[in-house]
């Protein structure tokens, strides 16, 4: 698809005026040498994980304890019909994805830690947003093997240009499983919106391989986004260094735990990412920044950021603005950027982020 067609697909949600809160106060901050307004849009959140925008001006925010909030016109409603979650460590209610056809389908996609007899596994499901409730929620994918470990769920959802869905899945602390094609651990999955498997997935005809797998050898990818050409990117946590940005390609092995820039807990280094048959990251951070959330700027308010990759840091409390040509980083660090969990581009072109430390959602706009 052409650049312009992909960009049009990404911008099909109607532009709207965000209408809350009435008394929001903008604070002037510097971002890469430019003055911006940082405005607290939503406060009082308890461990927020994901943010998504609705065409009517509403906003959805997930909290890890299982609450899904609908905010519009200054009102905050806790939606009913959300699946029961396993809140343990990094597990709980995780990502939200509003598809491009929401106005017709009313569908909302959620990823979460699904309670199972032996613990929990990453799951992806869908329901319809009707009158303050998620109606008819059903699972589209559930990990077949549960774990009592409260770590590495991954869980970002991306709608591809062709309408298929990508889901990132962490290796749940079982690092060798990321090289096992019979398991979902440490993978990016690709499924159709009804949960069926696309015929052109790379391992559909391979015996003993999970047919939903699109790529494997990931550790804990907590950010995912399409660029302006429709290509998929993820960021993922490394072990004591070696946090990565990866361009996700069909069928590729991204090396974990065979190879990484990070260092083993308890000492000892892994092989560097030059192992034959594995794809090295396009960028890595050592020391770790604990990346989470991923957006590629596609709006009109910041034309100088067109195509820039924006990634949150849970460890160093900033937003990394990355030039995808050089991977040079500009850092936006303010009192508001405490443990940035998610970043999204609003339909009006403003940049929104979730701060776990502040329990709030903020918008960033150019200062007049």
List active site positions: 152
Q: Where are the alpha helices (DSSP H) in the chain?
A: 3-10, 102-105
- Give how far Cα 114 sits from Cα of 79, 87, 145, 192, Å: 18, 9, 11, 20
d(CA 221, CA 236): 4
Query: DSSP label at 58?
Result: -
Work out whether the CA dihedral 38, 14, 53, 245 comes out positive or negative: negative
CA angle, residues 159, 234, 141, in degrees to nearest 5: 50
CB 336 within 8 A of CB 355: yes
CB 361 within 8 A of CB 61: yes
E strand segments, 172-280:
187-191, 213-216, 221-226, 232-236, 243-247
Lookup: tokens for 145? 């093997």
Lookup: tokens for 82? 């959300």
End-to-end alpha carbon distance in the chain: 36
Cα dihedral 313, 314, 317, 323, rounded to 10, equals: 0
- Cβ density class 176-206: b for 16+ within 10 Å, e for less: ebbbbbebbbbbbbbbbbeeebbeebbbeee
Residues near 162 by beta carbon (within 8 Å), at least 6 away in sequence: none
CB 176 within 8 A of CB 217: no
């Amino acid at each position: 698809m052409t650049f312009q067609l992909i960009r049009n697909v990404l911008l099909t949600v109607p532009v709207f005026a965000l209408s809350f809160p009435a008394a929001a106060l903008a604070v002037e901050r510097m971002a890469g040498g430019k003055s911006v307004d940082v405005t607290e849009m939503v406060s009082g959140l308890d461990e927020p994980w994901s943010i998504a925008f609705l065409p009517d001006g509403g906003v959805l925010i997930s909290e890890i304890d299982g609450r899904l909030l609908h905010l519009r016109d200054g009102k905050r409603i806790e939606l009913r019909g959300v699946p029961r979650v396993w809140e343990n460590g990094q597990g709980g209610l995780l990502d939200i994805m509003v598809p491009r056809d929401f106005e017709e389908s009313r569908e909302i996609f959620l990823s979460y830690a699904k309670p199972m007899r032996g613990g929990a596994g990453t799951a992806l499901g869908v329901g319809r947003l009707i009158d303050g409730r998620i109606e008819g929620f059903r699972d589209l994918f559930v990990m077949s093997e549960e774990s009592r470990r409260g770590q590495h769920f991954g869980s970002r959802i991306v709608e591809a240009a062709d309408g298929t869905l990508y889901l990132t899945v962490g290796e749940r602390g079982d690092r060798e499983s990321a090289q096992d094609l019979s398991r979902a651990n440490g993978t990016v999955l690709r499924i159709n919106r009804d949960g069926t498997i696309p015929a052109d997935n790379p391992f559909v005809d391979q015996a003993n391989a999970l047919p939903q797998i699109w790529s494997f050898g990931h550790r804990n990818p907590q950010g995912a986004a399409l660029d302006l050409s429709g290509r998929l990117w993820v960021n993922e946590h490394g072990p004591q260094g070696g946090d990565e940005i990866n361009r996700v390609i069909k069928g590729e092995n991204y090396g974990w735990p065979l190879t990484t820039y990070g260092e083993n807990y308890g000492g000892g280094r892994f092989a560097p990412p030059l192992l034959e048959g594995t794809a090295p990251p396009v960028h890595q951070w050592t020391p770790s920044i604990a990346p989470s959330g991923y957006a590629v700027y596609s709006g009109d308010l910041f034309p100088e950021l067109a195509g820039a990759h924006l990634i949150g840091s849970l460890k160093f409390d900033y937003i990394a603005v990355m030039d995808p040509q050089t991977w040079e980083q500009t850092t936006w660090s303010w009192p508001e950027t405490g443990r940035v969990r998610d970043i999204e581009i609003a339909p009006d072109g403003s940049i929104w982020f979730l701060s776990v430390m502040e329990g709030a959602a903020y918008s960033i706009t150019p200062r007049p």
